[in-house]
């Protein structure tokens, strides 16, 4: 979903309001863990301003393969090994603190380009704030209804023309 294609999101504060609803309604109801690009340990998450004084529980590491097929670029693939942290009400509240566009790898306070959210070992949401985009994987009818309930006008921005798949490469691996 390219958020900059939604007419109601001409202002960054509107995008942030939508992001906070995604966290509060969609992520809270469907996800049990999350990952931030470049954050590989409990110590590293302290670099993130909203987690500087309290860190979410370290869960594990998981390998994920993301594949996509588009007419312009053909079939492509990316393999990631991600450190996952548990999600609870406190984590959701802390993730809601920054503006959506504040997440950027070169940021001093929110140095991550990608936020990934999982249900069990399945990647179900990947947000890339610097691109103003969100990718939803394996949307179930119930998850579609949750998205619809947040803002039906945004639902039109979902791009069903591309074939994106996120697959766990193996069972989660323990952190060392």
Confidence (pLDDT) at 26 = 94
The angle at the Cα of 56, spanning 50 to 57, to the nearest 5 degrees, equals 165
Quick one: pLDDT at residue 137? 84
- Count CB neighbours of 83 within 10 A: 21
pLDDT surpasses 80 at 166: no
pLDDT for 1 beyond 60: no
Question: What confidence score (pLDDT) does residue 47 get?
Answer: 92
Burial class (CB in 10 A: 0-12, 13-18, 19+), 65: middle
Predicted confidence at residue 157, as pLDDT, reads 64
Q: Residues 58-100: pLDDT tens digits?
A: 999 998 888 777 666 677 778 889 999 999 999 999 999 999 9
Higher pLDDT, 173 or 24: 24
- For the chain, what is the mean pLDDT? 83
pLDDT of 25 strictly over 80: yes
What is the residue extent of each domain of the chain? 3-168
Over residues 2-21, the pLDDT tens digits come to: 665 566 666 667 888 989 99
Determine which helix (DSSP H) or strand (DSSP E) holds 36, and give its type and residue range: strand 33-36
Residue 134 burial (CB count, 10 A): 24
Picking from 97, 71, 79, 92, the residue whose alpha carbon sits closest to that of residue 27 is 92
Task: Tell me the average pLDDT across 126-141.
Answer: 86
Per-residue pLDDT tens digits for 141-153 = 888 888 888 887 7
DSSP state, residue 109: S
How much is the pLDDT for 103? 93
Answer whether 68's CB lies under 8 Å from 165's CB: yes
Burial of residue 3, with CB atoms counted within 10 A of its CB: 0-12 exposed, 13-18 middle, 19 or more buried? buried
CB distance 174 to 61 below 8 Å = yes
Q: With a cut of 70, say whether residue 35 has pLDDT above it.
A: yes
Question: Would you say residue 34 has pLDDT above 90?
Answer: yes
Q: What is the pTM of this model?
A: 0.85
Contact 158, 71 (CB under 8 A): no
């Amino acid at each position: 979903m390219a958020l900059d294609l939604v007419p109601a999101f001409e202002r960054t504060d509107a995008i942030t309001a939508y992001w906070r609803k995604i966290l509060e309604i969609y992520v809270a109801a469907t996800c049990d863990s999350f990952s931030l690009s470049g954050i590989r340990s409990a110590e590293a998450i302290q670099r993130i301003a909203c987690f500087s004084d309290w860190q979410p529980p370290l869960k594990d590491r998981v390998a994920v393969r993301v594949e996509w097929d588009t007419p312009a670029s053909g079939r492509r693939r990316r393999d990631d090994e991600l450190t996952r942290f548990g999600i609870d009400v406190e984590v959701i509240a802390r993730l809601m603190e920054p503006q959506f566009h504040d997440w950027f790898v070169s940021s001093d306070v929110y140095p991550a380009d990608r936020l990934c959210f999982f249900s069990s070992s399945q990647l179900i949401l990947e947000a890339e704030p610097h691109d103003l985009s969100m990718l939803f994987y394996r949307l179930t009818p119930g998850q579609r209804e949750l998205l619809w309930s947040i803002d039906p006008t945004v639902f039109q921005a979902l791009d069903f023309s591309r074939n994106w798949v996120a697959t766990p490469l193996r069972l989660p691996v323990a952190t060392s």
